[in-house]
């Protein structure tokens, strides 16, 4: 840093470089930030005065106006060295020094930027932190040793410096000698003295080094705890990649580590004491971190903590861990016939064959499953599959991690429960039972200069709880609060200034809404005066936001307090938000009580239905308490105004306006209105009218608030899917989504170094790149396709084929182009750009790179399945091209899932019929006929329209015998649709009617899409009619839809 010709740019997420520079140059240092309005002026003043300037918190790009300074573009003017910063040339001072630091953990600086500065990585390393923690630990446990060690280090350094000075003086005297060296008596005398002195110093240094070695040996006894502490810190630091609000500073961790040493159980036996330290510090960290985590991330943290500690003891097989996180198998990796196709999906069997072939300890597992298929059918159907024993010797043979790998293959919905058992077995039950929210404990950990931050989740409002706590602390009348937004910054600043002086509490709500004011907040907190009133506290609330100041998050006390989840808790919260006498305020008390209870239930149901993902809602809407309050007010007003209950008016205002105003998807609006039909209906007035088939949830006789609350106590804490109108399989969908979310989050925080199966990351990537490159075909010859299938008036599908080839070519070129560059970058032939780094990370994690996805069709498949799917799609296009259009014509049946843009194929089919019949295309629509013939036995196209196959049902199954929809089989989430004949008909009268379910058809399970430039949704394909013997409302509540592709 001091010797380099270029200025230093330090990667410093833990502010270590900042502290070091401030300590080194404390009396001669100016600190500036890129956000300072007077940045250039202060740098100019530093150059003139020859001071040091530290530019903190730089981003990935630096203001171009600083380029002359960074490049040190000095020039001579009037015999003086000058430099131009901003608009003004100013005299250069050789004493001036310039430093830059960034808090970004992994910044991507362009090569052009890197040649301008000296990039130094100050991010702490595991071994460096281990030494720091060892020093902290020994200083507390054996202060005598640490003091002696520090004295020795200092004295050894002094003696070595003295020795160097003697040697330098001898050399200087030899250089200054005139004539014969032996005639210089002073030199001879000094040489004699220095010889004696050097001998003494060398003896003392040798003695010191022996003593230091003995001290180090004694200190090494404590290293296991320091090593353990280093592991804990890096687990904690990785959480910032899960959520931007999960920031923890190194200083905070070292203070916590020190607290753990002080509070852990004492023991004369050093080894027992070390065990107490490890256990207590781990629990202390878990407790402190958990209070700032959302519920969905608490098990993730426990699991990550457990695995990292086990990895530190070399107890985790890297290949097994990688598979558990990223998977790797697909339906195409099957070996041998599927032993039970009735219940064992091709995907499950493919995954089992993959792990049997790629993980040494699981070789032969697929054969074992095939030989014991009845046992594993019971395993598959079990409600607690994660606790089921394996057949034969495999139960004792497999480790807990290997069993979890098997559960990931067969029953991924039970993996999180298996993870809980794994954490309990390895760490103890306290690591899956986080402590309850306690504001008083968080307050104890704070200080006047340490803000307290509430991290908000939907539906959470800590305001009332804070008011109660303020009253408890006798600060109720000294609490000032303001909700941030436009123009509130100056008011907040005055409030904070007043609080610092007078010792009041200040609450700044909704910080995420004041993005532009966040740098000001950071500056105010950093510049808190030393003379601060001890009663002052700064309370902040914010939803997760990348703009919230990292320094406040790292040094503040963070808390989350999520509202209780579930139908019962939600409904209870809604009822308690009104005063006890509110139910008595209407002139028609019975209808009001019953309809208000129904509205509260409806509100809870549509909120809790979100947890089922796309089965619940295509888009997750933020329905809130305000929506319910408007509906209740309108209900009260209408009941008092009209003699009869105006059900239609209430239903319209509730469904289309108050709640419907948030709903942007037409299919979601249909779901909302269908659900509302159950609640706003004259039948609600009947006592014990059922809101769900089970009868658990009903409209009880009108009562008061206490009566309704008492009724709710009889409800289950966790509602079954039937309460929402969904099939029992919806719970499996929810659990699977949760599993993949947790595994995906852990995958995102995995270190990018390390090895798998003896190969390092670069070798694995090179193999993957070569494998994918070899599987994906070269671009289509579009000229040849156009020559064979030219644009023809009577055959629109020729144009569809040509356009499909063009679209696939763009994707194929992107895949091959990025893989070719990646292979060169891995060999060091080209720079590993940020774009290539993103591609490499995605490949390594079995994910589709964003640069490929942006040029591809929508897909939720992991990379291994995505590549196979791409190959199959391009093979289908090639097979169509290879047909002779004159003799064979178009294919007899089309794999609709294989089209890049299926809407064009559907339009082309309608266009063919319109041109054949010489009528307007606007008058034609499809009739849907379901054919029994297997798709691979269809050998001739229909006279009009097309046969299609490759579609799935999500939320139901096709009953081949009854030729209509039926309830899904247990544990079977998706079912195949048979061959469909899309038959064009003129002036056809479709739409909702008895015996038909109007079903949307989507490209992927995500369902939600955006409107593209073609006027089509990126996900919605068409509306289908499917025969049924149940009312359409039944399937609407089930969330039933047709799909072109699954997520495996």
Ordered DSSP codes for 772-817? HHHHSPPPP-HHHHHHHS--BTTBTHHHHHHHHHHHHHHHHHHHHH
Burial 87-103 (b: 16+ CB within 10 A, else e): eeeeebeeebbbbbbbb
For residue range 998-1016, what is the model confidence (pLDDT) as tens digits?
A: 999 999 988 887 766 666 6
Q: Is the pLDDT of residue 587 over 90?
A: no
pTM of the model: 0.81
Q: Is the pLDDT of residue 366 over 60?
A: yes
Backbone φ and ψ for 106, nearest 5 degrees, come out as -140, 65
Q: Is the pLDDT of residue 757 over 60?
A: no
CA 548 vs CA 243, 246, 248, 560, 622: distances in Å: 12, 11, 14, 15, 22
For residue range 125-158, what is the model confidence (pLDDT) as tens digits?
A: 888 888 888 888 888 877 776 677 777 777 777 7
Q: Is the pLDDT of residue 52 over 50?
A: yes
For residue range 106-127, what is the model confidence (pLDDT) as tens digits?
A: 787 877 888 888 899 888 888 8
Closest C-alpha to 386, from 369, 363, 364, 405:
405
As a whole-number percent, the residues of the chain with pLDDT over 70 amount to 97
Burial class from Cβ neighbours inside 10 Å (0-12, 13-18, 19+) for residue 374 reads exposed
Q: Give the Cβ contact number of residue 455 at 10 Å.
A: 26
Across the chain, what does the average pLDDT equal? Answer: 85
Most confident listed range (92-101, 122-131, 438-447): 92-101
Burial class from Cβ neighbours inside 10 Å (0-12, 13-18, 19+) for residue 364 reads exposed
% helix, strand, coil for the chain, step of 5: 55, 10, 35
Determine the longest span between alpha carbons in the chain, in angstroms: 129
Strand partners, 7: none
CA 371 vs CA 73, 332, 335, 617, 986: distances in Å: 77, 21, 14, 42, 56
Mean predicted confidence (pLDDT) in 51-64: 87
Compute the half-sphere exposure of residue 222: CA atoms within 13 Å on the CB side of its CA: 23
| 781 contacts: CB under 8 Å, gap ≥ 6 | none
Poorest-confidence range of 26-30, 513-517, 829-833?
Answer: 829-833
What's the confidence (pLDDT) of residue 755? Answer: 53
Backbone φ and ψ for 31, nearest 5 degrees, come out as -110, 125
What's the confidence (pLDDT) of residue 331? Answer: 47
For residue range 914-962, what is the model confidence (pLDDT) as tens digits?
A: 888 888 888 888 889 999 888 888 888 888 889 999 999 998 989 888 8
């Amino acid at each position: 840093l001091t010797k380099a010709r270029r200025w230093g740019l330090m990667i410093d997420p833990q502010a270590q470089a900042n502290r070091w520079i401030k300590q080194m140059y404390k009396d001669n240092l100016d600190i500036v930030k890129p956000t300072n309005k007077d940045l250039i002026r202060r740098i100019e003043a530093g150059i003139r005065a020859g001071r040091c300037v530290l530019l903190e918190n730089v981003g990935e790009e630096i203001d171009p106006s600083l380029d002359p300074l960074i490049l040190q573009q000095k020039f001579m003017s009037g015999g003086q060295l000058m430099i131009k910063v901003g608009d003004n040339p100013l005299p250069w001072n050789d004493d001036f020094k310039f430093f830059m630091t960034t808090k970004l953990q992994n910044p991507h600086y362009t090569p052009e930027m890197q040649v301008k500065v000296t990039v130094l990585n100050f991010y702490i390393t595991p071994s460096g932190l281990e030494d720091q923690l060892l020093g902290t630990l020994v200083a507390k446990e054996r202060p005598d040793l640490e003091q002696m060690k520090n004295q020795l280090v200092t004295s050894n350094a002094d003696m070595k410096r003295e020795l160097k000075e003697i040697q330098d003086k001898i050399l200087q005297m030899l250089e200054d000698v005139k004539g014969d060296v032996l005639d210089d008596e002073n030199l001879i005398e000094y040489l004699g003295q220095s010889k004696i002195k050097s001998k003494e110093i060398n003896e003392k240094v040798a003695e010191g080094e022996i003593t230091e070695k003995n001290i180090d040996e004694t200190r090494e006894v404590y290293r296991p705890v320091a090593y353990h502490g280093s592991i804990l810190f890096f687990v904690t630091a990785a959480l910032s990649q899960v959520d931007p609000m999960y920031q923890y500073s190194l200083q905070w961790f070292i203070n916590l580590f020190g607290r753990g040493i002080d509070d852990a159980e004492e023991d004369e036996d050093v080894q027992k004491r070390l065990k107490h330290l490890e256990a207590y510090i781990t629990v202390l960290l878990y407790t402190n971190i958990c209070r700032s985590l959302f519920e969905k991330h608490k098990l993730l943290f426990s699991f990550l903590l457990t695995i990292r500690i086990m990895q530190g003891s070399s107890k985790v097989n890297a290949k097994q861990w990688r598979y558990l996180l990223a998977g790797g198998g697909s339906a195409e990796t099957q070996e041998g016939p599927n032993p039970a196709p009735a219940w064992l999906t091709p995907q499950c069997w493919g995954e089992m064959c993959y792990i049997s072939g790629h993980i040494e300890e699981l070789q032969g597992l697929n054969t074992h499953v095939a030989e014991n298929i009845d046992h594993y059918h019971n395993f598959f159907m079990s409600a607690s599959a994660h606790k089921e024993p394996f057949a034969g010797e495999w139960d004792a043979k497999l480790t807990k991690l290997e069993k979890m790998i098997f559960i990931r293959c067969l029953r991924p919905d039970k993996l999180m429960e298996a993870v809980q058992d794994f954490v309990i077995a390895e760490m103890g039950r306290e690591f899956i039972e986080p402590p309850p929210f306690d504001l008083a404990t968080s307050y104890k950990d704070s200080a006047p200069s340490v803000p307290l931050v509430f991290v908000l989740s939907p539906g959470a409002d800590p305001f009332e709880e804070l008011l109660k706590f303020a009253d408890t602390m006798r600060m109720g009348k000294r609490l000032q609060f303001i909700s941030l937004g436009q123009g509130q910054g100056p008011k907040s600043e005055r409030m904070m200034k007043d609080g610092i002086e007078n010792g009041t509490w200040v609450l700044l709500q909704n910080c995420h809404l004041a993005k532009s004011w966040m740098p000001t907040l950071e500056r105010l907190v950093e510049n808190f005066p030393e003379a601060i009133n001890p009663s002052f506290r700064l309370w902040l609330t914010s939803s997760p936001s990348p703009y919230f100041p990292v320094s406040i998050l790292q040094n503040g006390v963070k808390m989350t307090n999520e509202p209780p989840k579930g139908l019962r808790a939600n409904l209870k919260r809604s009822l308690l938000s009104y005063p006890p006498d509110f139910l008595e305020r209407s002139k028609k008390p019975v209808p009001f009580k019953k309809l208000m209870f129904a509205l509260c239930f409806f509100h809870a149901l549509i909120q809790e239905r979100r947890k089922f993902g796309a089965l619940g809602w295509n888009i997750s809407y933020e329905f809130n308490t305000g929506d319910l309050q408007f509906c209740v007010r309108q209900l009260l007003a209408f009941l008092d105004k009209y003699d009869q209950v105006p059900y239609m008016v209430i239903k319209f205002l509730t469904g289309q306006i108050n709640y419907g105003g948030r709903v942007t998807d037409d299919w979601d609006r249909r779901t909302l209105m269908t659900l509302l039909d159950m609640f706003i209906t004259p039948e609600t007035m009947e006592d014990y009218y059922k809101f769900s088939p089970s009868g658990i949830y009903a409209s009880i006789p009108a009562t008061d608030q206490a009566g309704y609350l008492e009724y709710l106590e009889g409800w289950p804490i966790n509602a079954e899917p039937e309460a929402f109108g969904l099939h029992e399989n919806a719970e499996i969908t929810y659990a699977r989504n949760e599993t993949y979310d947790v595994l995906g989050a852990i995958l995102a925080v995995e270190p990018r170094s390390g090895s798998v199966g003896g190969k390092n990351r670069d070798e694995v990537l090179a193999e993957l790149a070569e494998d994918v490159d070899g599987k994906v075909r070269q671009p289509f010859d579009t000229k040849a396709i156009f020559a064979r299938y030219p644009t023809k008036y009577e055959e629109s599908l020729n144009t569809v084929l040509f356009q499909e080839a063009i679209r696939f070519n763009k994707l194929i070129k992107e895949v091959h182009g990025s893989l070719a560059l990646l292979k060169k970058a891995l060999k060091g032939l080209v720079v590993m750009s940020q774009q290539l780094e993103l591609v490499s990370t995605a490949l390594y994690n079995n994910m589709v790179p964003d640069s490929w996805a942006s040029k591809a069709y929508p897909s939720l498949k992991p990379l291994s399945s995505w590549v196979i799917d791409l190959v199959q799609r391009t093979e289908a296009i090639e097979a169509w091209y290879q047909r002779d259009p004159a003799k064979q014509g178009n294919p007899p049946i089309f794999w609709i899932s294989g089209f890049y843009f299926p809407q064009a194929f559907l339009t082309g089919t309608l266009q063919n019929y319109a041109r054949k019949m010489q009528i307007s295309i606007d008058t034609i629509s499809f009739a849907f006929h379901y054919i029994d013939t297997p798709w691979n036995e269809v050998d001739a196209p229909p006279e009009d329209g097309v046969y299609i196959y490759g579609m799935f049902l999500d939320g139901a199954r096709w009953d081949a015998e009854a030729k209509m929809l039926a309830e899904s089989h247990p544990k079977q989430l998706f079912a195949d649709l048979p061959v469909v004949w899309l038959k064009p008909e003129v002036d056809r009268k479709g739409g909702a009617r008895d015996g038909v379910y109007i079903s949307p058809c989507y490209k992927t399970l995500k369902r939600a899409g955006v409107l593209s430039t073609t006027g089509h949704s990126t996900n919605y394909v068409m509306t289908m009619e499917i025969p049924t013997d149940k009312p359409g409302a039944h399937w609407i509540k089930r969330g039933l839809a047709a799909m072109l592709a699954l997520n495996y």
